[in-house]
Each structure stands twice: as structure tokens, then as C-alpha cells.
Amino acid sequence: MARYFDVHPHDPQPRAIGQVVDLLRGGALIVYPTDSGYALGCSVDNQEGAERIRRLRHLDDKHHFTLVCCDFAQLGQLVHLDNAAFRAIKASTPGPYTFILKATPEVPRRLAHPKKRSVGVRIPDNRVAQAILHELGEPLLSSSLLLPGAEPFTDGWQIKEELDHQVDAVVDAGDAGTEPTTVVDWTEGAPEVVRVGAGDPSRFA
């Protein structure tokens, strides 16, 4: 049965955030809010957590997981950034964007695209997600909570009821929206918008 945390969306309770982070450090798979809907998350070194996300979402081994970062400095340790990418990504974060870039050696090989050695990274503009990331002190391995054949979830209690035996904790901060991130692929040296979502794609046109 999943633990349920009802947290304030703008001023999340430190005790609840601390308990969530303790669960993550112990190998838990959680559902948490972002600025583009609810997401599944686990620690980067949690291989079983990654497999649980794949099973839940029916994903194959070519799926780009996203490494969710608390700030630009953390993001910069995970991916290679030329000057143009550095300026454009720094100007648009935090926000509802996912960037696909070449991974640095800091990223475990199993998390990068098998051929391109690329990985998705993002910095969410959500106070609850940021509180979790700051307390954890490292990125979260993450994927949008989009289940096959189901509408996006907007209510944390509904998520708790639906996934009670498939995740370890649900962090409910109210309605987090349902529009996914805008995805920008920068692996070829120039930005290519591969999915239009909540973030304005025109800045990468």
C-alpha cells in the first residue's frame, strides 16, 4: 500500500518532504507533482525503480528517461552544453521543458540512449518538486505519469487509489495540470522541437 502525503503546493511541509526523501533513498518509487502534471520518480541508482516505471508505462529499453534537476548547475554535470545550448536552456529554466542532450560520464550507461548516448534533462518550476530535489541533493530519475489507454491523472487521491499497490508513495499537491513538457532535442548541435507541450516552442524555432 502506497504512503500518501498531502502537501501544500506553495509551502510544502518540511517533515513530509523529509519522509518522502527517506523513502527515495530506501529504494522507493514515488508519484510527485511537477509543472507539467504528475510524474513517477526514483533515485538514479535505483535500477529496480527504473524497471517498475517501464512496466507501469509499457516502455521499451529505448525510452528516454528524464533526469530531473534542482538547478542549472546540477543539469550541467549530466549533459554536454555548447555555448548556444547553455544560453538558451539557462534562459528557459526552470520551466516545462525537457532537453535531450549528449550525456556526460556522470550518467550511468543504462540510463542513456543505447546508440546516441543521450539523455533527457529538465528543471521543473514546481515548489514541491524543488523541495524534494533540494532535500535529496541529486537528480531524480523520472517519467511522466502517462499510463497506456488512460487519461492523465490530475488528482493525487485518485492516483493513490489507482496505483496503490504499484508505487510506494504518492505526493499530492493538488491539480498539477495535464499538459506534458515541450521536448527539445539538441543532440545534433541545434535545437529541434520534437514534442510541443506546456513550454513555448517558439524560443527554439
Domains and CATH numbers, the chain: 3-204 (3.90.870.10)
The overall average pLDDT reported for the chain is 93
pLDDT at 154: 82
Amino acid at 173: A
Task: Give me the percent of the chain exceeding a pLDDT of 70.
Answer: 100
Cell of 178: 495535464
Please return the burial class of 205, using the count of CB atoms within 10 Å of its CB with bins 0-12, 13-18 and 19+.
exposed
CA atoms in the 13 A half-sphere facing the CB of 160: 15
Closest Cα to residue 97, out of 205, 202, 201?
Answer: 201
Kindly report the backbone phi and psi dihedral angles of residue 49, in degrees, each rounded to the nearest multiple of 5, phi listed first. Answer: -60, -40
pLDDT per residue over 54-64, tens digit each?
A: 999 998 877 77
Reported as a single tens digit per residue, the pLDDT across 148-179 is 877 788 888 889 999 999 999 999 998 888 88
CA-atom Rg of the chain in angstroms? 16
Please, which pLDDT band fits residue 75 given cuts at 50, 70 and 90? very high
pLDDT at position 115, please? 80
Which is more confident, 175 or 194?
194
| Residue whose C-alpha is closest to residue 65's, from 77, 80, 53 | 53
Tens-place pLDDT, residues 87-140: 999 999 999 999 999 999 999 888 888 788 899 999 999 999 999 999 999 999
Q: Which one is predicted more confidently, 185 or 156?
A: 185
Position 43 confidence tier, pLDDT thresholds 50, 70, 90: very high
Q: Greatest CA span in the chain, whole angstroms? A: 47
Mean pLDDT of 6-21: 97
Q: Give per-residue pLDDT as tens, 121-130.
A: 999 999 999 9
What is the pLDDT averaged over residues 2-11?
Answer: 96
Task: Report the range of poorest mean pLDDT among 72-76, 108-112, 195-199.
Answer: 108-112
Contacts of 198 (CB under 8 A, 6+ apart): 35, 36, 96, 177, 179, 180, 181, 182
Task: Report d(CA 130, CA 136) in Å as an integer.
Answer: 10
C-alpha cell at 89: 536552456
Instruction: Give the mean pLDDT of 194-203.
Output: 93
